[in-house]
């Protein structure tokens, strides 16, 4: 039995198991301490496994703690060859960087091999928001029927646009998150951060109408939005609903729940809302994330500038 400890197969097993322990420990760290979302954790896990397999296949390197930057650069080149976008590659490298910072923090490595890495240049695609007319037309085109599915679909569109919440935040709303007295809704955002978003009077009316119909389908599930079978709505269902209604009124290439969030922020800024207030409503941790929406307000700013400046020829 002692000889088994020194056999090649046992050594390979031990190394593989050790690498998995490192990865699992890191995933536990970002889940339990950093409070990252399940989607983010899943993405990080896939990135790390992909890199681990690359090191093993291309360099016969089993110990991720021994990786040096040239190997990472080689991985980047392989990703570029696979026609993966620079933006996606940067995200993968960000996962790897977080992993090595964790190994450094836990004294598994002395130096983070990505310390001097520079991100690849990427072009940020400008998201084109829906116009107010497109949104109003889409909502008005929803059937006047008062059946469960129609009212639920209308509520989904209204909630996404009137609150600017994310798709994941929408499907996780619970019944007791709605405060009719204060006309607010509690949202559980990224990293389990809570925020309260105001509800329009018109939306609270639809919520109450929907809840009366919902009682016929489910009295057990505490999630606000459910299917006809009484289950929590899925991301794909929400995406399909937005595509269904906005596909009839908009020629924009991308029609998704995120574009409604984008429209919410853009329209508020166009109407003079404070950037900090929009930041809080969206649940952003920094103004930098919110400032991306100011690009769409540039034309409005130009009009105000030309009308207000003493030297403007338009005065």
Asked if 190 is an active-site residue, the reply is: yes
Sheet holding 178-179, edge to edge: 178-179, 184-188, 194-198
Asked if 214 is an active-site residue, the reply is: no
Instruction: Please identify which of the residues 101, 117, 190, 195 carries the catalytic annotation.
Output: 190
- Residues 6+ away with beta carbon under 8 Å from 43: 91, 95
Listing DSSP states for 24-62 in one string gives HHHHHIIIIIS---HHHHHHHHHHHHHHHHHHHHHH---
Instruction: Please identify which of the residues 92, 152, 214, 261 carries the catalytic annotation.
Output: 261
Asked if 261 is an active-site residue, the reply is: yes
Question: Measured between alpha carbons, how far is 29 from 33 in angstroms, rounded to an integer?
Answer: 5
Instruction: Please identify which of the residues 45, 195, 223, 258 carries the catalytic annotation.
Output: 258
In sequence order, the β-bridge partners of residue 188 are 194
Asked if 107 is an active-site residue, the reply is: no
Helix-strand-coil percent breakdown of the chain, rounded to 5? 60, 5, 35
Asked if 293 is an active-site residue, the reply is: yes
- Contact in structure between 174 and 185 (CB atoms under 8 Å): no
Question: Measured between alpha carbons, how far is 190 from 246 in angstroms, rounded to an integer?
Answer: 27
E strand segments, the chain: 178-179, 184-188, 194-198
3-state secondary structure of 197: strand
Q: Is the backbone of residue 127 left (phi > 0), alpha (psi -120 to 50) or beta? A: beta
3-state secondary structure of 178: strand
What are residue 276's phi and psi, to 5 degrees? -65, -35
Instruction: Please identify which of the residues 167, 255, 267, 284 carries the catalytic annotation.
Output: 284
Asked if 195 is an active-site residue, the reply is: no
Instruction: Please identify which of the residues 166, 167, 214, 262 carries the catalytic annotation.
Output: 166
User: Catalytic residues, which ones?
Assistant: 166, 190, 258, 261, 284, 293
């Amino acid at each position: 039995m002692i000889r088994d400890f020194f056999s090649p197969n046992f050594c390979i097993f031990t190394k593989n198991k050790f690498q998995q322990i490192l990865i699992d420990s890191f995933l536990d760290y970002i889940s339990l301490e950093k409070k990252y979302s399940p989607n983010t954790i899943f993405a990080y896990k896939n990135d790390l496994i992909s890199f681990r397999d690359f090191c093993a296949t291309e360099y016969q390197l089993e110990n991720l703690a021994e990786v040096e930057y040239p190997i990472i650069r080689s991985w980047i080149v392989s990703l570029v060859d696979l026609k993966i976008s620079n933006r996606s590659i940067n995200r993968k490298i960000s996962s790897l960087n977080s992993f090595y910072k964790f190994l450094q923090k836990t004294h598994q490595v002395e130096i983070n091999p990505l310390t001097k890495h520079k991100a690849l240049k990427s072009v940020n695609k400008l998201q084109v928001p829906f116009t107010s007319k497109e949104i109003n037309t889409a909502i008005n085109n929803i059937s006047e029927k008062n059946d469960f599915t129609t009212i639920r679909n209308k509520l989904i569109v209204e909630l996404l646009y009137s609150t600017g919440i994310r798709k994941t935040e929408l499907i996780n709303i619970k019944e007791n998150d709605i405060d009719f007295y204060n006309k607010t809704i509690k949202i559980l955002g990224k990293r389990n951060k809570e925020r309260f978003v105001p509800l329009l009077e018109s939306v609270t009316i639809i919520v109450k109408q929907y809840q009366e119909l919902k009682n016929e389908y489910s009295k057990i599930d505490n999630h606000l939005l459910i299917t006809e079978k009484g289950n929590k709505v899925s991301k794909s269902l929400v995406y399909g609903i937005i595509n269904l209604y906005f596909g009839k009124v908009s020629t924009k290439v991308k029609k998704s729940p995120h574009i409604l969030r984008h429209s919410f922020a853009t329209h508020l800024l166009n109407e003079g809302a404070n950037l900090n207030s929009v930041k809080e409503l969206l649940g952003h941790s920094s103004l930098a994330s919110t400032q991306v929406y100011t690009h769409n307000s540039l034309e409005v700013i130009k009009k105000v500038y030309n009308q207000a400046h003493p030297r403007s020829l338009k005065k």
